[in-house]
Amino acid sequence: MTKDSSTQHLVVIGAGASGYFCAVNAARLCPGLSVTILEKTGKTLSKVKVSGGGRCNVTHRALPIAAFTGNYPRGARLLKRTLHQFQASDTWNWFESRGVQLKTEADGRVFPCSNNSQSITDALEAEARKYGVHVQLHQTVMALKAPENSPQAGTGQPGRWEIQLMGQSDPLQADYICVAVGGLIKRDAYQFIANLGHEILPPVPSLFTFNLGRHSITGLMGVSVENAAVRIVGSKLKQTGPLLITHWGFSGPAVLKLSAWGAEWLAEKTYQFSILINWLGEQWPENKLREQWAEIRDQNAAHAMGDKNPFGLPKRLWSYLLKTAGIIESLYWSKLPAGPQNKLIQTLVADVYNINGKTTFKEEFVTCGGVDLAAVDPMHMQSRVHPGLYFTGEVLNVDGITGGFNFQHAWASGFAAASHIAQNYQQTTENQ
Ligand SMILES: Cc1cc2nc3c(=O)[nH]c(=O)nc-3n(C[C@H](O)[C@H](O)[C@H](O)COP(=O)(O)OP(=O)(O)OC[C@H]3O[C@@H](n4cnc5c(N)ncnc54)[C@H](O)[C@@H]3O)c2cc1C
Reply yes or no on whether the pLDDT at 81 is more than 80.
yes
For 323, residues 6+ apart whose C-beta sits below 8 A from its C-beta are none
141: enclosing H helix or E strand = strand 141-145
Q: Cα of 226 to ligand 1 centre, how many Å? A: 31
Across all residues in the chain, what is the average pLDDT? 94
Contact 407, 124 (CB under 8 A): no
Atom 53 of ligand 1, residue of closest alpha carbon = 364
Contact 372, 411 (CB under 8 A): no
Atom 38 of ligand 1, residue of closest alpha carbon = 181
Write the pLDDT tens digit of every residue in 54-79. Answer: 999 999 999 999 999 999 999 999 99
Q: Cα of 395 to ligand 1 centre, how many Å? A: 9
Q: Nearest-CA neighbor of 56 among 130, 110, 20?
A: 110
235 to each of 230, 252, 400, how far by Cα in Å?
12, 20, 20
pLDDT of residue 154: 41
pLDDT of residue 361: 67
Q: Which residues of 148-245 form beta strands (DSSP E)? A: 161-165, 172-174, 176-179, 200-206, 208-211, 224-232, 238-245
Q: Cα of 199 to ligand 1 centre, how many Å? A: 21
Handedness of CA 377, 139, 169, 3 (dihedral sign): negative
CA distance 358 to 46: 24
Q: Cα of 13 to ligand 1 centre, how many Å? A: 12
Reply yes or no on whether the pLDDT at 2 is more than 60.
no
Contact 55, 112 (CB under 8 A): yes
Domains of the chain, each with CATH number or no CATH:
9-204+368-431 (3.50.50.60), 208-360 (no CATH)
Write the pLDDT tens digit of every residue in 264-288. Answer: 999 999 999 999 999 999 999 999 9
- pLDDT band for position 148 (cuts 50, 70, 90): confident
DSSP string computed for 379-398: TT-BBSSSTTEEE-GGGBS-
Least confidently predicted of 167-171, 178-182, 324-328, 361-365: 361-365
How far apart are the two ends of the chain, measured CA to CA in Å?
19
What residues does ligand 1 touch, defined as CB less than 6 Å away? 13-19, 38-41, 46-47, 50-52, 56-57, 140-141, 180-182, 363-366, 393-395, 404-407, 410
- pLDDT band for position 156 (cuts 50, 70, 90): very low
- Pocket residue to mutate for ligand 1, from 163, 362, 407, 411, most atoms within 8 A of Cβ: 407
Q: Cα of 182 to ligand 1 centre, how many Å? A: 5
Q: Nearest-CA neighbor of 45 among 67, 65, 23?
A: 23
Contact 389, 383 (CB under 8 A): yes
